[in-house]
């Protein structure tokens, strides 16, 4: 009968395990700050993209209407193929004029009409959120001085006189 040797089973020592844990902790300390920087960069890139898209929509509206959205009331038109969108001058008119079909006077309608409501819509959806402020509210000023308020809304600010559009962080 052959002899069976018992092999001793050798495990890791406490020192070896501590060294591995320390190496993993050092690697984590190096890598984790890189991810937080990437998150900030992504938010800034989203902000820049949203800002550029909204500014393009505002510029196109200005070319077709000779005024900026929100400068005139969006209500008062008679819609044949949709419902009239009401909105006074300011933030409500700004949103209505960018999201719906408009006529040359800036009046908004949910449906298109090749003779009357033939412009727009300039944005497919609601105004995008401000990734640096986390809301899509728009504060519209009409005095030509955009300036930021202290403790902004976290949304957007728009001047319907100059056409300037910025984030309100």
108-158 tens-digit pLDDT: 888 888 888 899 899 988 888 888 887 778 888 877 666 655 456 678 888
- Structural domains counted in the chain: 2
Q: 149 lies in a domain? A: yes
Q: 115 lies in a domain? A: yes
Q: 166 lies in a domain? A: yes
The answer to whether 130 touches 50, Cβ cutoff 8 Å, is yes
Helix (H) or strand (E) holding 30: helix 14-65
| DSSP codes, 8-21 | PP----HHHHHHHH
Both 90 and 133 in one domain: the answer is no
Both 113 and 143 in one domain: the answer is no
Q: Is the peptide bond before 22 cis (omega within 30 degrees of 0)?
A: no
Both 93 and 82 in one domain: the answer is yes
Q: 116 lies in a domain? A: yes
Domain containing 73 equals 68-126
12-68 tens-digit pLDDT: 889 999 999 999 999 988 888 777 777 888 888 999 999 999 999 999 999 999 999
pTM over 0.85: no
């Amino acid at each position: 009968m052959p002899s069976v040797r018992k092999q001793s089973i050798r495990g890791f020592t406490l020192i070896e395990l501590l060294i591995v844990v320390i190496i993993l902790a050092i690697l984590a300390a190096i890598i984790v700050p890189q991810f937080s920087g990437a998150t900030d960069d992504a938010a800034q890139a989203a902000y820049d993209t949203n800002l550029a898209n909204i500014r393009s929509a505002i510029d196109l509206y200005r070319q077709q209407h000779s005024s900026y959205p929100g400068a005139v009331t969006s209500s008062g038109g008679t819609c044949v193929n949709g419902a009239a969108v009401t909105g006074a001058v300011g933030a409500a008119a700004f949103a209505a004029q960018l999201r719906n079909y408009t006529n040359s006077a800036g009046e908004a309608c949910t449906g298109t009409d090749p003779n009357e409501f033939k412009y727009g819509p300039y944005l497919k959806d609601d105004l995008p959120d401000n990734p640096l402020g986390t809301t899509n509210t728009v504060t519209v000023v009409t005095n030509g001085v955009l300036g930021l308020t202290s403790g902004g809304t976290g949304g957007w600010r728009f001047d319907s006189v100059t056409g300037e559009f910025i984030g309100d962080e």
